Structure 1
């Protein structure tokens, strides 16, 4: 039965929420919409009274593709909403601070994407999944990806034709590097002689820098380097990388501002050196990361670079073995960039050690706010937060935050 409902607010996943709660995707606060309620979801939605913030989605794939949730909303609305998500997460922990203006990466700036590929009778289908669906929307164009990355989608299709199964999907991660396209494939057929030869030939045919098949490097014609500060690093296949170069630069500027004039900095959850290497232009750095391949890549990048101060690396699971206060005492600044779960165990030890300044980079406002509460309770001042939106039109929110201990230099 069709009914009318009024959208009250947006949830953290970008869906409109009405009383009930009833969730209505691709709606905006204040809109009156009609549809059929199934459980707590509204389907077959028709907008009867649109919001003044509703705009025409720029992408022709928007209705069928699940890559974006918020292309129907104005840029101003999305920016304000993302800042408010962070503000509300902090308020839930009893915290408030200065919110700096949001930094939003431009359209067509994503340098990495994971493409779903399914082999078909005639070849392969490649694109993004529809919303909450296993259906793949084939991409002819994309307003998120760098044009060079969009142009590489046929490479994913070709690899699906070579080594995909009609019973399962391939996940093909395409990454732009300084030396060309870096491709990592998961879920493909088991390697044998003929397939390995065909994949090696495909690497040449498509001029790939590197091709990795279920964690085995098939060929590396050129080192797929990324530049962090003045250093060039070859991250291991599939390693974490900030989604856009623009967003990475914004986060790096924030981190460098927070820990400026520090002499010895600990970079925790350091990855392949996104922040460690720029930091080493003015400070000695101890970089700690749980994946040995990433610490090796960071170390090699540092050794090849010129003019940087000393970087030491340590492979360590900071969830199970956080740095303890006596290990933290030698640093006068700390950088944290944990995954979505946050860094609660490490933050508890930081709260005891009390380094003078902490730069916290987060991709999850809720876990960030929880950790910020621990630091606030230990006497830290949360001086400011800046939201950095690398994932346009999505519900994903990243930020950089400055924590300072009053009276401690």
Structure 2
């Protein structure tokens, strides 16, 4: 560390932290510096709580590249557009290894399955209304200010090209004091848009105007504060040949390509299992693929997504030649499936939210199910749950990271467990 100007330091970045910020080790302690890379010499302005502002890159790393988006550094959506692809993939894999190591788990982690730009089919946008019109985009980094997005190389073109249309859509439903959130999903039938934070309970004229605008930009569906205002076409997604119409706001994997990889890895892990339990089944990400060769018990805590899956199975399952699927609504956090309920089960899949599946894995650890496949978007909670399974007699035989959250610290993974 060397002194520079007043309130400035020249430092060397030792590593990348788990959130993607560079870490500088100094006599005064650690500083986390955004938009820097390991090995770089940089000039920083120390802030509070170990954070620092990057002032200048004195010596760039060989892995530094030009960011592909004009908004990078201002937009709060991406952390890591400035790192070369190979170094980026290695860093993401190290995050998985570090999470496992912290729980005393040794397992070979396979190379990262990469994500492509313009592949995300879901986007969370923010919108506000001013005297000049509607600003729609993302929140600026470390700010509550909404930045107008002119492009977004993360999302599919159907979403990127609709930004101006979406601003037009929500304009009459916004107050100048509030901010709205838009959950936008690209589906087989067009965009599915769910808005929250706008004017509540739109009256007759406003309701009619919003529906009219939804029709003019050819939305598949517009939902406003959980109320479906317009549905020109029921938006659907394909799960291994099964066409499902998810309810507004239902969870979907971020990219279709990443989902296909997850399905393949799950099927590889399950193998020739005849009876499979699909826990946290959602709308059926894995259910239809599993049902092509196994009978499936699909369990999900949210009633509406499971009802959408059940409806699709009843209508299309016989024509697709699927094996029997039973759908059960059950809160797996409060009432996990007990080991005694799994006596005739050959394999279990669990794909929980970021909080993981602590209670359910305690039950699985007590079971004799030969194969358990875990899908997770949080390496830390996956490692915690993996530790529970290992302590219960399972071996973690394979871990594959799958990138669906390009240029961010988030990572999906699939782990295969075998009962020893």
Structure 1 residue ranges, 4+ long, deviating more than 2 angstroms after superposition: none
Which residue of structure 2 aligns with residue 192 of structure 1? 203
1:249 Cα deviation (Å)? 0.4
TM score, norm. by length of structure 1: 0.97
Task: State whether structure 2 residue 235 is matched by structure 1 residue 229.
Answer: no
Q: Is the 8 A contact 2:170 2:210 kept in 1?
A: no
Which residue of structure 2 aligns with residue 165 of structure 1? 175
1:203 Cα deviation (Å)? 1.8
1:6-59: CA deviation from partner (whole Å, max 9, x where unpaired): 212212211111222211011111111112111111114311111111111111
Root-mean-square deviation (Å): 1.0
- Of 7, 11, 23, 1:5 maps to 11
Count of residues paired in the alignment: 406
Q: Is the 8 A contact 1:170 1:188 kept in 2?
A: yes
1:110-159: CA deviation from partner (whole Å, max 9, x where unpaired): 11101111111132001111111112222222111111110111232123
Which residue of structure 1 aligns with residue 34 of structure 2? 25
1:175-217: CA deviation from partner (whole Å, max 9, x where unpaired): 1111111110011101211111111111211111111001111
Which residue of structure 1 aligns with residue 47 of structure 2? 38
Task: State whether structure 2 residue 362 is matched by structure 1 residue 348.
Answer: yes
Q: Is the 8 A contact 1:115 1:156 kept in 2?
A: no
Q: Is the 8 A contact 1:383 1:402 kept in 2?
A: yes
Please give the alpha-carbon distance, in whole angstroms, between the structure 1 residues aligned to 2:413 and 2:55. 33
Task: State whether structure 2 residue 68 is matched by structure 1 residue 58.
Answer: yes
- For structure 2, list consecutive stretches of 5 or more residues without a partner in the other structure: 1-6
1:271 Cα deviation (Å)? 0.5
Query: Which structure 2 residues correspond to residues 165-184 of structure 1 after superposition, within 5 A?
Result: 165-184=175-194
Q: Is the 8 A contact 1:231 1:304 kept in 2?
A: no
1:295-350: CA deviation from partner (whole Å, max 9, x where unpaired): 10110111122211111111111111100111122211000100111101000000
Task: Give the SS at the match of 1:101.
Answer: coil
Which residue of structure 2 aligns with residue 131 of structure 1? 141
Q: Is the 8 A contact 1:97 1:384 kept in 2?
A: yes
Which residue of structure 2 aligns with residue 378 of structure 1? 392
Task: State whether structure 2 residue 323 is matched by structure 1 residue 309.
Answer: yes
1:165 Cα deviation (Å)? 1.6
- Of 287, 297, 308, 1:286 maps to 297
Please give the alpha-carbon distance, in whole angstroms, between the structure 2 residues aligned to 1:44 and 1:369. 33
Please give the alpha-carbon distance, in whole angstroms, between the structure 2 residues aligned to 1:354 and 1:113. 40
Task: State whether structure 2 residue 114 is matched by structure 1 residue 100.
Answer: no
Which residue of structure 2 aligns with residue 74 of structure 1? 84
Q: Is the 8 A contact 2:124 2:183 kept in 1?
A: yes
Please give the alpha-carbon distance, in whole angstroms, between the structure 2 residues aligned to 1:203 and 1:58. 31
Please give the alpha-carbon distance, in whole angstroms, between the structure 2 residues aligned to 1:215 and 1:25. 37
Q: Is the 8 A contact 1:110 1:146 kept in 2?
A: yes
1:207-243: CA deviation from partner (whole Å, max 9, x where unpaired): 1111100111111111100000110000110110001
Which residue of structure 1 aligns with residue 225 of structure 2? 214
Please give the alpha-carbon distance, in whole angstroms, between the structure 2 residues aligned to 1:113 and 1:301. 25
Task: Give the SS at the match of 1:208.
Answer: coil
Which residue of structure 2 aligns with residue 400 of structure 1? 414
Which residue of structure 1 aligns with residue 333 of structure 2? 319
Please give the alpha-carbon distance, in whole angstroms, between the structure 2 residues aligned to 1:222 and 1:151. 20
Please give the alpha-carbon distance, in whole angstroms, between the structure 2 residues aligned to 1:160 and 1:184. 11
Please give the alpha-carbon distance, in whole angstroms, between the structure 1 residues aligned to 2:324 and 2:302. 20
Task: State whether structure 2 residue 161 is matched by structure 1 residue 151.
Answer: yes
TM score, norm. by length of structure 2: 0.95
Q: Is the 8 A contact 1:117 1:156 kept in 2?
A: no
Q: Is the 8 A contact 2:169 2:214 kept in 1?
A: no
1:264-291: CA deviation from partner (whole Å, max 9, x where unpaired): 1111111100011111111111111111
Which residue of structure 2 aligns with residue 259 of structure 1? 270
Q: Is the 8 A contact 1:24 1:45 kept in 2?
A: no
1:87-127: CA deviation from partner (whole Å, max 9, x where unpaired): 11111111111222211121111111011111111320011
Task: Give the SS at the match of 1:8.
Answer: strand
